[in-house]
């Protein structure tokens, strides 16, 4: 649509004043947002109000596009759903008419913000709106949450107090259909047992916001003006979230008022001791909720890291009385690490809605499915060396630390929300529609409520590692985003939010942004970042030196030695002995092989169907090469233009691709070295060195890409492995290679002196992993829900006849403390059959299962396994 010199483009919004939904505060805010983005395009938004009989009570000039907004009077649509459809224009002067209906306030807000987003990303805004035929949305997940953490007084006060930031940031979340925002306080340290605590601002929350009547509790040396400012800011944030239809969740992750082991704590709490601790917290919580009426829920860490030694039921029973006394419904979200039945009863006893929020992939981000099996180290044990502190968490409830544990049973009285922690990728850009859609499908696993993402840069400057201006990541001035570093990740928010809302969302929802940013290069940029974004998620799932985000950061990898030199890397403190690269466990031990485990099984001719480190290496390399190919294509389309956002993207994609190449080569080196250890074959050691040297070259490429772009010290903790730059990590790689070279020199010398050694240690050859083998297709239809206590027969057929093929069924309850049952399937008339007995289905848990297939050539694999884009669930679930 062309606009003449004297033309005036106008959009007219029509609402019935008697329609409560259509004139609610969030909808009013959304209409204002639409007006603002239209105004930036030179288009005026006007309004027409109708009374209850549809009569005009306020009118304006003729319009080019008329938009009517109405709630769903029938109440039949799903919550938060909406419909935008084009209708024949009736009003004189109207060119077109869009009609919007929403099931509720959020539905209407999402529909209006959809129009605003199309305008924001358009070169011909009005024409794009007029061309809408029909567009609808319905959420796949009840909760779609973002968590933002306050970890550093030095780095985080600036954004906390910045009202302009909150207005823009919360608008972005609402635009991409996040319906919950979690402001996380008190998570700067692993509380209660850390002797290094210094910056603990907002640690023990209440006195930072309140003067609780009846107590003389204060933060030493803090002025009343600062306390008042903190409370006013919290009121502002929660109110603005509510205006946008966003549930506001306040995280109170610490209740320790004093770090007894820390002599250097900066913020001392006076006036609270063991005698009044619980009752002060109770009254402080009540008053905080009364002063901030827009807080919808609180998240509590009730295990020992929250500062209260276990068992802690008595303390929490008293504190939670503050919830019941505030006069409204407050959602209780319990971080479930160590939560037992007694603690659940304490929360449920308040009469408030209760959810538990287990970690999705330990403290990292893996592929978009729930672990088929947790690491051996996470299974329950009988005793702990700190029974005075962690009697529950580190013993019989140990398996609740890093997954959904046993919370997904049919008898549960709580909701379950899965939280993705920020260990894997913190700084480099992330954005893969396929992975985001996979998470959108898996977040409602077994009736779960949804997912919460700890946003990019979460835990920045944790543990007193902050520096002034430290949230600025870039050394290169043109790439800096002073005070707006979050805007680097707007594409992450977009694909994540929209595909968690609807995993089948149309690609136009993110391509409009990419075309606005990168023009002709948009399709290649989408694919380059998508493939690069899978690299660390795959590697994290297949190889996890530590479940803790405090110790393992694969994005800025602290090298873990292949050689056993008795020098324990801090990054491997919970890796099995001997704490080497080869000893590392996968994060999912049912679907992936560890290096040493794989080599042992291969040499013993007992391979399982799990994905091997060599197969993972091929995947990583293919992902890296695909990302690089699309980035090169995008470079040719962008030309010599210096587009700051393009530079940010291209640097990060290149760095991620470099990580893919590095980890692929290091996995190969690890396998070859493990073979050398087992067989003594010097050729395997030579190959290990060759792969490791190639990995070093790949790491140098990462350094070259990032050296003059990123700051020299990016901090997520005070220890060396949680801060620095990629360049700082090279010395660890070189040291390990030097150790391996010494072993090789000795082995090669011995080998040359003993010509017979080559014959006694024959070379080992693995199956070719450079191409996906052609395997028979297994057809299996999961049965419908089966009554408890009845046997279930599972059937599978092959698309073509494969003589000698053996199939086993592996199954367990959806309880991560349990082991799998393995049953050989019997073949009858071409149909493979196995039975899960009624004694096993007589359980409150759904059943998870998959198949292992083995042919006469010795190949073995899993079904359904992982698809080409790695975004599916590699098992079935029987309800």
Q: What is the pLDDT of residue 455?
A: 98
Would you say residue 61 has pLDDT above 60?
no
Structural domain boundaries in the chain: 10-137, 143-505, 529-760, 778-878
CA–CA dist 16, 14 (Å, integer): 7
Least-confidence region, from 34-43, 285-294, 676-685, 754-763: 754-763
772 pLDDT higher than 60 = no
Name the average pLDDT for the chain: 93
CA distance 273 to 258: 9
What is the model's pLDDT at position 756?
47
Residue range 739-766: mean pLDDT, rounded: 74
Can you tell me the distance from the alpha carbon of 422 to that of 515, in angstroms, rounded to the nearest whole number? 29
8 A C-beta contact, residue 284 and residue 216: no
pLDDT band at 198 (very low <50, low <70, confident <90, very high): confident
Q: Please state, in angstroms and rounded to a whole number, the distance separating the CA atoms of residues 798 and 831.
A: 8
Query: Region 316-322: what's the mean pLDDT?
Result: 98
pLDDT attached to residue 683: 95
What average pLDDT does this structure show over 735-759? 82
DSSP-derived secondary structure for 564-577: --S---GGGTTSPT
Question: What confidence tier does 9 reach under pLDDT thresholds 50, 70, 90?
Answer: confident
pLDDT per position as a tens digit, 631-663: 999 999 986 666 899 999 999 999 999 999 999
For residues 416 and 443, what is the distance between their CA atoms, to the nearest angstrom?
10
Taking residues 659-675, report their average pLDDT.
98
- Between these two residues, 571 and 668, which has the higher pLDDT value? 668
pLDDT above 50 (res 861): yes
pLDDT band at 771 (very low <50, low <70, confident <90, very high): low
Just give the CATH number of 10-137: 3.30.379.10
Please compute the mean of the pLDDT values over residues 699-727 and round it to a whole number: 96
Among 47-61, 286-300, 597-611, 851-865, where is mean pLDDT lowest?
47-61
342 pLDDT higher than 50: yes
Instruction: Using the predicted structure, report yes or no on whether residue 457 has a pLDDT greater than 70.
Output: yes
Supply the pLDDT for residue 54: 59
pLDDT over 60 at 841, yes or no? yes
More confident residue, 808 or 193: 808
Between 771 and 401, the more confident residue is: 401
The residue that leads in pLDDT, 569 or 204, is 204
Give tens-digit pLDDT for 491-548.
999 999 999 999 999 999 999 999 999 999 999 999 999 999 999 999 999 999 999 9
Helical residues (DSSP H) of 680-756, grouped into ranges: 682-706, 730-753
pLDDT at 759 over 50: no
The superfamily CATH assigns to domain 778-878 is Immunoglobulins (2.60.40.10)
pTM score, whole prediction: 0.96
Of 158-162, 196-200, 413-417, the range with the lowest mean pLDDT is 196-200
Do 144 and 178 meet the contact criterion of CB atoms below 8 Å apart? yes
Mean pLDDT on 481-485: 95
Sorting pLDDT into bands at 50, 70 and 90, what band is 567?
A: confident
Residue 191: name the closest of 275, 307, 107 by CA. 307
Judge whether 143-505 and 778-878 match in fold. Answer: no
Please say if the pLDDT value at position 610 is more than 80: yes
* Per-residue model confidence (pLDDT) at position 193: 66
Helix (H, G, I), strand (E, B) or coil at 462: coil
Residue 618 half-sphere exposure, CB side, CA atoms within 13 Å? 12
Q: What is the homologous superfamily of the domain 143-505 according to CATH?
A: Aldolase class I (3.20.20.70)
Q: Would you say residue 611 has pLDDT above 90?
A: yes
How far apart, in Å, are the Cα atoms of 393 and each of 192, 378, 402, 405?
14, 11, 11, 12
List pLDDT tens digits, range 363-411: 999 999 999 999 999 999 989 888 888 889 999 999 999 999 999 999 9
Which residues does 372 contact at the CB level (< 8 Å), separation at least 6?
A: 588, 590, 591, 848, 850, 874, 875
């Amino acid at each position: 649509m062309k606009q003449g010199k004297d033309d005036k483009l106008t959009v007219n919004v029509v609402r019935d004043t008697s329609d409560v939904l259509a004139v609610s505060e969030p909808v009013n805010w959304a209409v204002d947002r639409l007006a603002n983005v239209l105004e930036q395009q030179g288009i005026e938004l006007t309004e027409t109000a109708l009374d209850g009989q549809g009569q005009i009570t306020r009118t304006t000039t003729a319009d080019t596009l008329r938009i009517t907004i109405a709630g769903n009077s029938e109440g039949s649509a799903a919550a938060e759903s909406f419909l935008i459809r084009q209708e024949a224009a009736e009003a004189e002067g109207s060119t077109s008419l869009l009609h919007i209906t929403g099931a509720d306030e959020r539905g209407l807000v999402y529909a209006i913000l959809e129009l605003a987003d199309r305008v924001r990303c358009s070169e011909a805004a009005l024409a794009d709106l007029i061309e809408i035929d029909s567009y609808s949305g319905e959420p796949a997940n009840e909760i779609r949450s973002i968590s933002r953490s306050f970890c550093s007084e030095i780095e985080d006060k600036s954004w906390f107090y910045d009202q302009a930031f909150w207005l823009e940031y919360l608008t972005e979340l609402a635009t991409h259909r996040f319906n919950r925002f979690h402001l996380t306080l008190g998570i700067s340290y692993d509380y209660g047992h850390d002797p290094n605590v210094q910056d603990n601002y907002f640690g023990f929350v209440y006195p930072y916001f309140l003067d609780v009547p009846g107590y003389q509790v204060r933060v030493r040396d803090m002025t009343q003006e600062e306390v008042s400012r903190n409370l006013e800011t919290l009121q502002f944030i929660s109110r603005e979230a509510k205006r946008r239809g966003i549930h506001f969740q306040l995280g109170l992750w610490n209740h320790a008022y004093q770090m007894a082991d820390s002599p250097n704590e900066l913020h001392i709490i006076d006036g609270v001791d063991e005698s009044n601790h619980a009752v002060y917290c109770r009254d402080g919580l009540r008053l905080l909720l009364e002063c901030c009426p827009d807080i919808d829920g609180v998240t509590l860490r009730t295990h020992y890291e929250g500062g209260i030694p276990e068992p802690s039921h008595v303390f929490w029973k008293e504190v939670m009385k503050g919830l019941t006394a505030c006069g409204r419904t407050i959602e209780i979200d319990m971080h479930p690490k160590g939560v037992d039945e007694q603690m659940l009863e304490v929360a449920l006893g308040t009469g408030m809605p209760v959810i538990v929020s287990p970690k999705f992939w330990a403290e990292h981000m893996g592929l978009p499915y729930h672990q088929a099996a947790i690491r051996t180290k996470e299974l329950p044990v009988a005793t702990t060396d700190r029974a005075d502190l962690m009697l529950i968490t580190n013993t019989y409830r140990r398996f609740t630390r890093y997954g959904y544990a046993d919370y997904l049973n049919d008898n549960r009285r709580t909701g379950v929300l899965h939280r993705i922690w920020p260990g894997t990728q913190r700084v480099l850009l992330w954005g893969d529609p396929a992975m985001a859609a996979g998470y959108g499908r898996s977040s409602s696993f077994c009736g779960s409520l949804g997912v919460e993402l700890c946003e990019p840069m979460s835990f920045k400057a944790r543990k007193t590692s902050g520096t002034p201006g430290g949230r600025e990541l870039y050394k290169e001035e043109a790439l800096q985003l002073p005070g707006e570093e979050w805007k680097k990740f707007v594409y992450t928010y977009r694909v994540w939010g929209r595909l968690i809302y609807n995993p089948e969302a149309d690609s136009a929802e993110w391509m409009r942004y990419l075309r606005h940013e990168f023009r002709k290069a948009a399709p290649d940029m989408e694919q380059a970042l998508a493939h690069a974004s899978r690299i660390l998620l795959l590697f994290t799932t297949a190889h996890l030196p530590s479940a803790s985000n405090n110790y393992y950061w694969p994005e800025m990898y602290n090298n873990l030695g292949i050689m056993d030199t008795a020098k324990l890397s801090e990054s491997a403190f919970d890796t099995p002995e001997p704490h080497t690269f080869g000893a590392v466990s996968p994060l999912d031990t049912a679907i992936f092989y560890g290096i040493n485990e794989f080599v042992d099984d291969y040499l013993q001719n007992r391979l399982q169907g799990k994905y091997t480190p060599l197969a993972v290496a091929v995947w990583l390399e293919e992902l890296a090469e695909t990302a690089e190919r699309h980035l090169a294509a995008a470079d040719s389309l962008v030309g010599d233009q210096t587009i700051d956002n393009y530079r940010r993207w291209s640097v990060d994609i290149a760095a991620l691709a470099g990580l893919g190449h590095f980890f692929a080569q290091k996995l190969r080196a690890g396998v070859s070295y493990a073979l050398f250890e087992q067989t003594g074959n010097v050729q395997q050691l030579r190959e290990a060195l060759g792969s490791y040297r190639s990995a070093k070259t790949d790491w140098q490429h990462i350094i070259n890409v990032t050296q003059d772009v990123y700051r020299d010290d990016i901090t997520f903790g005070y220890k060396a492995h949680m801060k620095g730059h990629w360049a700082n990590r090279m010395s660890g790689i070189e040291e390990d290679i030097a150790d391996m070279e010494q072993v090789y020199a000795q082995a090669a010398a011995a080998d040359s002196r003993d010509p017979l050694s080559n014959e006694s240690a024959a070379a080992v050859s693995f199956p070719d992993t450079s191409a996906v083998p052609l395997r028979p297709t297994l057809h299996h239809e999961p049965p419908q829900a089966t009554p408890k206590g009845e046997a279930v027969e599972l059937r599978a057929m092959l698309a073509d006849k494969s003589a000698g093929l053996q199939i086993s069924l592996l199954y367990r309850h959806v309880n991560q403390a349990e082991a799998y049952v393995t049953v050989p399937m019997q073949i009858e008339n071409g149909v493979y059959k196995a039975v899960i007995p009624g004694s096993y289905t007589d359980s409150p848990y759904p059943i998870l299962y998959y198949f292992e297939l083995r042919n006469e050539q010795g190949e073995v694999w899993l079904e359904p396994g992982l698809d080409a884009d790695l975004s599916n669930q590699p098992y079935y679930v029987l309800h």
